[in-house]
A and B are shown apart, each in its own frame.
Chain A
Amino acid sequence: MQNSFEDIMEKLDNHELWDFPGGVFPAERKTLSNQTPIGKLAIPARLYVTVKQHIGVEGQIIVDVGQKVLKGQALTKSMNPFAVPIHAPTSGEIAAIHKHVSAHPSGFPELTIEISSDQEDRWTKLFPLIDYRHQPKMQVLTTICEAGISGMGGAGFPTHIKSAPKKDIDFLIINGIECEPYITSDDRLMREHAWQIRQGIDILCHLLKPKHVLIGIEHNKPEAIEALQVACRENTNYRVCIIPTKYPAGGEKQLIQVLTNREVPAQGLPVDVGVIMHNVGTCFAIADAIFSGKPLIERVVTVTGEAIKTPGNMWALIGTPVSDLLAHCKYEQTGQNRPNIIMGGPMMGFSVTSDLVPVVKTTNCILAPTDNEIAGNNEQPCIRCSACADVCPASLLPQQLFWHSKAKELDKAQDYNLFDCIECGACAYVCPSEIPLVHYYRIAKSEIRVEQEDKQKSDKARDRFEKREARLIAEQQARDEKHRLAAQARKQAMASNGNTAKDKIAAALARAKAKKQNAIIVNEKPIAPAEAPLANRTVQEVKTDESTTSAKAASSNQRVQAAITRAKAKKTAAEVTITQTEQNNKINAGQIIGNKPEIKHQGNDVKFASKQASDAKMKEQADVNHSLHTADDSPQPQKQVITDSKQLKINAAVAKAKHEAQKNASRQDLPNPAPAANMNSPQINISVELAKTQEQQIDMKKRKITAALAKAKAKKADEKEKTSKVDKSS
């Protein structure tokens, strides 16, 4: 059960505080930089404003390369509640929008807007909100968001989100601890701008309505404590609390524990225990935004370390490259084997990969230590002394975490609450084996994050895969069902209306067929006299086959038949002419066929032949259908009174044409001896005609094939003739 508000107030009234477990007491080294007032840095020639400077998502860039911008003009627009805009730190021109080395341990290039300053430092028009107490809260929050304010203590959480909690707030805690060695930027800010910090606190109180405000300052900053006590004297609701110096008392969870004895749950937020915490720098920036309309474009940066000749604090524009700050404070590499610049403090900072790394909204310190100040990397095996466990402010077991992180046993590391580690570095500080413990944890954490991301992605992929499979199966089923229904409908339609009209048509067809047969018999008599009785017999057979009466014949069949007959008529006509040409040129053709034809012609031939073959095939099928139907429907011709005269005529024409074609074919085989294939085809024709005595239908088919073959050959011969002509002329 967490402490009640009254208990806490009672204890605070008695000037008593709680404590957090562990903690270390590193040398403070703050006097290096906190003796001089905050200096002003000259406007750098180039500024590198990283687009994403906080937790969350970046805004959308609203400027173009070459565009002139004024100081304080927004460069991005927030599209998302978690995005805060960035602003031009000075007036100038957008030189480039590209990837530039980032203020991140990896140094990976990130999207950056590069501004070349014109040194005029002209402000854009500002919109202060001085009467904020009479404005709706939403308006105040929007102003804070549009000023680009995110937490300046370290994590960079967008301030407007933190300032609009959904729960009641007992305490607003203002963090002025600054527990890390060397860093004095908050210290100097509190000394010099306590009044404006108080104004920022007023605005936050208006937004959050906390029961009480606690301003925590470590007792090693007496000037800052005094300044804020003076600034907050009029307001009884504000209490400046002097916190014993111990690292890491400035950690959010640790400070809450010291002041209220409430513990923020794992994976929880301070708001879960009724507390909101803001950094003093953030309060200063909020006051700037509300009372003068200035966006967050500069901050105090401590430049310190023994490799710096004139250490101190600087007002640095956001986007200032580290090199400018170092040059201003006279960085000398003496005492350093190799350049070593740390962004942040010695406990939690990171070495920058380039001196062009820009200052971002969370940069509080640039540290250039000599080699004497910082130990070399002499990692030795863990001796299980458990000194790290004694100093861990989160009461974890650092050596267990170390074992499991090093062995990549990520599950076990998580079982030991790896994610409750605040990466303060106290364990590494006391480690007698100089093991960089925090770095092992950071590696393990990032690996776990990557693994979780992969897991999420694979779950999504599985889901999508399964959904796709289900969809494909459903589609297949729908298709099958549709086909089944269509088949059923067809069957039904056939059963219901296949008897009357269709029968009549079928009868007419049968009669026509019978007439055609007679015509064929009459026509073919001179060539194949044996056929006549056979044809008669076929008719008789057909007649006797009465039992196979079917209702299949339909008007479409009739149309198909008509088309076929037309096509046949045309074909035979063409054949006649071709055969004649062939006869005329028979000697020529014979000679040429012996020669090798050109490849091109051959190709054409093949194509043509295949087309013919496919045509023939189609016809065959149609014909088979046709003859089947005829055979099926023939038993009722005598019942039929109406005659389809047109059909009859066509059939007669077809029969005539066929007869002619046969005659031509038989003529052809005698005088055209040269091509072997040509010789064969009429023979086939004849044999087919003989076979006709067996089966009328097959004969029809084969005759057509032969016709197609003959046609193809004629064409080939024709082309060859042309080629030979060309040859001759050449």
Chain B
Amino acid sequence: MSLTFAILTALLAIGLLALVFGVVLGFASVKFKVESDPLVEQIDQILPQTQCGQCGYPGCKPYAESIANGDEINKCPPGGDITIKKLADLMGVEPKSLDAAHGQEDIKKIAYIREDECIGCTKCIQACPVDAILGAAKQMHTVIVDECTGCDLCVDPCPVDCIDMLPVANGTSSWRWDIDAIPIKQIG
């Protein structure tokens, strides 16, 4: 009898404790909820945001969503190997080489409109995913260089082929030191 009583007491005590902790934890999970950065957002942060659509999706966000749903991570030529490596780290998969079906990694380019040839058709403006082309109907258009992502999407719609993709010029500010160092020696 005393044994049953002891067991019952123990069960009751444990159950009570479980209830109390459950309530506390439940309250804490509501009260101190931390909004975690959703996976799609994290992937989107890594993608280069050229919005070029070379991956087959209409922009970087849709591709990020698709990666989160299990798509391949090697469909982004503008991001190149660095992006693939970062995505692999994030998704916990092996990095792959870039899928050639979606294009090659290329040097950074931006669009340039030969302004005297522009007829002002506004087709490139409609094609630009980041509103980096300035102009109006029957007025000359031009590219805002700082905003251009080099996505290439304005080149095809141009009826007079006056848009060139030119490599970004390298200046002293964007120069990366090469290893041709001044060798230093214990002098004297």
Interface residues, chain A, with chain B CB atoms under 8 Å away: 26-27, 29, 102, 104-106, 108, 110, 181, 342, 346-347, 349-351, 373-378, 425, 428-429, 434, 436, 438-440, 442-443, 446-447, 450, 453-454, 457-462, 464-469
A305 to chain B, nearest CB (A): 11
C-alpha spacing A460/B47, complex, angstroms = 13
A454 with B183: in contact, given A110-B172, A446-B177 (CB under 8 Å)?
no
Residue B1 lies at the interface, judged by CB distance under 8 Å to chain A: no
CB pair B170 A450 closer than 8 Å: no
A5 to chain B, nearest CB (A): 39
CB pair B51 A447 closer than 8 Å: no
CB pair A459 B177 closer than 8 Å: no
**17 A–B contact pairs at CB < 8 A?**
A108-B172, A374-B182, A375-B183, A376-B183, A425-B184, A436-B181, A436-B182, A436-B183, A440-B179, A443-B176, A443-B177, A447-B176, A460-B147, A461-B149, A464-B131, A465-B61, A465-B130
Interface 1/0 per residue, B155-188 and A, CB below 8 Å: 0000000000000001110111111111111111
Interface 1/0 per residue, B114-158 and A, CB below 8 Å: 000000000000000111100000000000001101000000000
Residue B49 lies at the interface, judged by CB distance under 8 Å to chain A: yes
CB pair B181 A439 closer than 8 Å: yes
In the complex, residue of chain A having the shortest beta-carbon distance to the beta carbon of B60: A462
A455 to chain B, nearest CB (A): 9
CB pair A377 B181 closer than 8 Å: yes
C-alpha spacing A442/B179, complex, angstroms = 9
Residue B72 lies at the interface, judged by CB distance under 8 Å to chain A: no
Query: Which residues of B are found within 8 Å of A440, using beta-carbon distances?
Result: 179
Query: Which residues of B are found within 8 Å of A351, using beta-carbon distances?
Result: 180, 182
Residue B50 lies at the interface, judged by CB distance under 8 Å to chain A: yes
> In the complex, which residues 49-64 of chain B have their Cβ closer than 8 Å to any Cβ of chain A?
49-51, 59-61
CB pair A346 B182 closer than 8 Å: yes
* Closest 7 A/B residue pairs (Cβ): A375-B185, A27-B188, A436-B181, A458-B49, A442-B177, A461-B49, A439-B181
Query: Which residues of B are found within 8 Å of A467, using beta-carbon distances?
Result: 131
**DSSP class of B's interface residues: helix, strand, loop or mixed?**
loop
C-alpha spacing A457/B51, complex, angstroms = 12
C-alpha spacing A342/B130, complex, angstroms = 45
C-alpha spacing A469/B60, complex, angstroms = 13
CB pair A428 B149 closer than 8 Å: no
Known: A374-B182, A436-B184, A462-B44. 14 other contacts (CB 8 A): A102-B172, A108-B172, A346-B184, A373-B185, A375-B186, A429-B184, A436-B179, A446-B177, A457-B49, A458-B47, A461-B51, A464-B131, A464-B132, A468-B131
In the complex, residue of chain B having the shortest beta-carbon distance to the beta carbon of A344: B182
Query: Which residues of B are found within 8 Å of A375, using beta-carbon distances?
Result: 183-186
Query: Which residues of A are found within 8 Å of B188, using beta-carbon distances?
Result: 26-27, 29
A335 to chain B, nearest CB (A): 14
A202 to chain B, nearest CB (A): 36
C-alpha spacing A349/B181, complex, angstroms = 10
B48, B60, B170, B185, most chain A CB atoms within 10 A: B185
A450 with B176: in contact, given A465-B59, A468-B129 (CB under 8 Å)?
yes
Query: Which residues of B are found within 8 Å of A105, using beta-carbon distances?
Result: 175, 177
In the complex, residue of chain B having the shortest beta-carbon distance to the beta carbon of A429: B184
C-alpha spacing A33/B178, complex, angstroms = 31
In the complex, residue of chain A having the shortest beta-carbon distance to the beta carbon of B78: A458
Query: Which residues of A are found within 8 Å of B185, using beta-carbon distances?
Result: 373-375, 434
Partner among B48, B130, B183 whose Cβ is within 8 Å of the Cβ of A377? B183
